[in-house]
Structure 1
Amino acid sequence: MEIKTYLRYSFPGLIAGCLMMVSACKKNSSDLNAVNKPVVEAYLVAGQPLSVKVYQQKYLTDTATYGAALTDLSINVSNGVQTVKLTETANGTYTYSDAAFVTAGKTYSMQFTYDNVAISASTVMPGKPEGFKLTDSVFHVPNTIDPAYNDKVLQTVTWTNPDSLQHLLLFKNTDSNPFEIIAVRSNRNPSFEINTERTSTYSITQTTFKYYGAYKVILLRVNNEYINVLTTNTRGSSQNLVNTPTNVVNGLGIFTAMQADTLNLRVTTQ
């Protein structure tokens, strides 16, 4: 299972736009302290090298994805037993290459100083999703799409979730040139994601997919801080950006952890 490859897809698709809003604050006299806060972006994945990106906030009118990188920081991360110092491998990007450092069940705490202020955050690495299954590895789109049956369940995605933990479900179309199921659905992204709302099942209907082809179905077990940023900022506006959720003390952005499992699905004609 190539967790690293597919998680790279999920970040821009799910939350990068939210972090753009987190970092784009209205720089006015009513919130002088907020404009000096660094923006942190870190997604810890069990068994993968650790990476933390830190950058400045930017104006709402700034079209860049990120603000200027914050360089020459001394960032430490602890797993409760061991504390490591990250290395700046690119401007504003700090890493620790030992993949064995990030494991399930541990609490990870990050700390650094910026502008004489201590910046910190912590997150817990969740366990890997369990019992992840598809009804079938092939989904046959009906020859006729009848609106009267849009809610009819044709196939299901299930997993074990007795504690109602947070999960995201990603459908990543891996075709180089995916073919649309119905032409009027043009300009829709063939890949999409679902916030499962703490459930343990997702129903596939005749309108679930907009494109035929091969899909990676990725189930992510995530923490509340990820869901908070995702759900709140997608509804945000320029009037409330300074109140966006963050788990970074004296900063903005997100420091979170997740695990994933992946299945294959082929969407084809009936």
Structure 2
Amino acid sequence: MKNIYIILLLGTIQSILWACTETNDVINPGDKPVIEAYLAPNHPVSLKAYTEIPYSESSEGVSQVIDGLSIKIIGSNGKTFVLKSVGNGAYESAANELIGVAGTTYSLEFDYKGRKVTATTEIPAKPVNFASDKKEISRTQIDLSAGFQGGVRPPGGGFNEQNTSVNLTWSNPNNYYHFIAVENVETDPVQILIPPTGRTFPNFRFFNEPLTGSSNEVRSQSFQYFGKHNIILYRVNPEYAALYQSSGTTSQNLSTPPTSIINGLGIFTGINADTIKFVVNKN
């Protein structure tokens, strides 16, 4: 479960930062902290805190980090984490203080602007029987560094390459939420599609939305780098799925994103994962 925190959430937290406040809410717009925390078994605690951006015509649209909070996370196993503020809105437990096993519940609590902010979550079970019908694929490198104009095939070809499927399955009789994430783990990864000069395609990771099924697929052309990859199956709680599904909130459809945090916004949730090793070879 390497890099279990890094992959999650690329983008979902943005909808929270733009939350609006209902007219009957006694908390002033902008006064709720936004929390981002994912608790994984056998990992230390990592949490981030931001200020909310309330919707208004005068809003500059900038969220600020929140440092200096006194945050505790209390486990049902009797273990308490006292998080240390390490700057830039980040809070961490000691490296040797690790989240417990599946089924352990954790409660978050701290004070912010005279109110107690609280939340509770449970560590879900690890995914079961995670399998792939392939362990490797091959792709052809496409070089666009010299440009691609007039329909001329770039050096190296590759546009007619077959887009095959990597079929992934797992057991899920109770319809728990899962999603797939893929990350390249090479120290110096080589791009499959070399971009035109002056452009970059910095996609070391990609992921899909959380679903309640028992299978999914990754298309071969979704891989952007050669070499070793981790295909990670995450089991997540409903609060994560609800937040992900609300991330399309726009100025044309304003709503307060769902959250299980009392007197706050954001995500405080347990996760668990299993990983399959995968290789993309170069033709």
Q: TM-score, normalization: structure 1?
A: 0.79
Of residues 180, 200, 218, the one that matches 2:214 is 200
Of residues 264, 269, 275, the one that matches 1:256 is 269
Of residues 48, 54, 69, the one that matches 2:66 is 69
Of residues 74, 78, 82, the one that matches 1:82 is 78
Change (3 A) 1:180 1:88: same
Residue type at the aligned position of 1:265: F
Change (3 A) 1:22 1:94: same
Q: Secondary structure at the match of 1:195?
A: coil
Of residues 214, 218, 225, the one that matches 2:228 is 214
Contact 2:209 / 2:244 at 8 angstroms: preserved in 1? no
Q: TM-score, normalization: structure 2?
A: 0.76
Bigger-Rg structure (1/2): 2
In the TM superposition, what whole-angstrom CA distance separates every residue of 1:137-156 from its partner, at most 9, and x where no partner exists?
A: 21234897669x76xx6442
Aligned length: 257
Match of 2:93 in 1: 96
Change (3 A) 1:199 1:240: same
Higher percent of residues as helix: 1
Mapping of residues 83-232 of structure 1, within 5 Å = 84=80, 86-91=82-87, 92-97=89-94, 98-141=96-139, 154-175=165-186, 176-180=188-192, 187=201, 189-195=203-209, 197-232=211-246
The RMSD of aligned alpha carbons is 3.2
In the TM superposition, what whole-angstrom CA distance separates every residue of 1:172-229 from its partner, at most 9, and x where no partner exists?
A: 1234243325979x84735310225122222344544344332111111111111111
Change (3 A) 1:87 1:130: same
In the TM superposition, what whole-angstrom CA distance separates every residue of 1:46-96 from its partner, at most 9, and x where no partner exists?
A: 111123322322465345xx52314243x2322224252513231443333
Distance in 1 (CA, whole Å) between partners of 2:230 and 2:275 is 7
Percent of aligned pairs with the same amino acid: 27
Change (3 A) 1:52 1:174: closer
Residues 1:268 and 2:281 aligned together: yes
Contact 1:108 / 1:124 at 8 angstroms: preserved in 2? yes
Contact 2:86 / 2:92 at 8 angstroms: preserved in 1? no
Q: Secondary structure at the match of 1:47?
A: coil
Structure 1: state its 5+ residue gaps: none
In the TM superposition, what whole-angstrom CA distance separates every residue of 1:3-40 from its partner, at most 9, and x where no partner exists?
A: 2x3213313xx34x222331234689887634211111
